[in-house]
A = this chain, B = another copy of it.
Amino acid sequence: MLVNGKPGVKLSIRDRGLLYGDGVFRTIRAIRGKAQHWTLHYLKLRNDCSALGIACPDAGQLSAELDYLLTQHHEGVVKLVVTRGQGNRGYAPQFDAEITHFWDISPLPDYPADLATHGIRAKLCQLRLGRQPRLAGIKHLNRLENVLAAAECNDTRVLDPEIAEGLMQDTDGNVIEGTRSNLFVVSGSKLITPELSHSGVAGVQRDRVIEWSEQNNMPVEIRNIGMDEVKQADELFVVNSVIGLWPIRELEQSRWNNFPVATQILQAWSNETEI
């Protein structure tokens, strides 16, 4: 645990991250003393900071802090949060305020290995995401929609046969993402992932699937997708940096048994020399 570069576990109650959710974050899997896809995460962090007008901490500084953290904890879920720091009372940001950043690390979740091979049960959440183009795609700290959607899923949802993920539509009925993951749909020879220009978070693993697809002559269509198309898919899978990739074997009344594309990607990823 590092707060503004120093060991610590607490933050001021005047921090705008707490008062307004005025900040961004990354969730990174660390194994064998290494943070997976750190460079990709840093680029996302920098873009997200820029979208909110927050000065992003320097890559060298963050890398050094991450190295320090990983000498103490060789594996876990690493969380990095950057907020706009403190400032005067009120919503208006001060442009010269010193930003806050902190790291936290938690144990890796103990997911059953067969979730990746046999697929998960998923449900469709009742909660629908609002459409806000100014915040869409950004991994910011305003995550009440995700909290409410996750609350709809089973508490013990990581355990098969429980619900492992909930899919969310936006208020227009477009399927956007999972509560904590990005969604891909396989339809014939096409891979499709939802357009995230009005809602959702564009994660690092989503980019990695898109990159894989380009290298494997299976270009991804990025566009709006409705529930009908999702139900009729040949395959569905969700991705994020902690779970990796999970095929969906059950979504409401629909069932899938084979996941050839998901399996190909998992295979390619496991062969990959870690960057």
Show the binding face of A for B, using Cβ within 8 Å: 1, 3, 8-22, 25, 52-53, 77, 79, 81, 84, 89-95, 102, 104, 106, 109, 127, 129-132, 134-135, 140-151, 153, 155, 157, 171, 179-180
Contacts and interface: CB of A to CB of B under 8 A. Distances in A.
Contacts of A145: 132, 134-135
B93 A150 contact: yes
30 contacts: A9-B13, A10-B11, A14-B104, A16-B147, A18-B81, A19-B25, A19-B79, A19-B81, A19-B143, A20-B141, A20-B146, A21-B141, A21-B142, A21-B144, A22-B143, A22-B144, A22-B147, A89-B106, A91-B147, A92-B147, A92-B153, A93-B147, A93-B151, A95-B155, A129-B132, A130-B131, A130-B132, A131-B131, A132-B145, A141-B144
> Within the oligomer, what is the number of copies of this chain?
2
Nearest to A21: B21
A222 B131 CA distance: 23
Contacts of A92: 147, 150-151, 153, 155, 157
A13 B11 contact: yes
A13 B19 contact: no
Given A19-B141, A141-B20, A91 B146 contact: yes
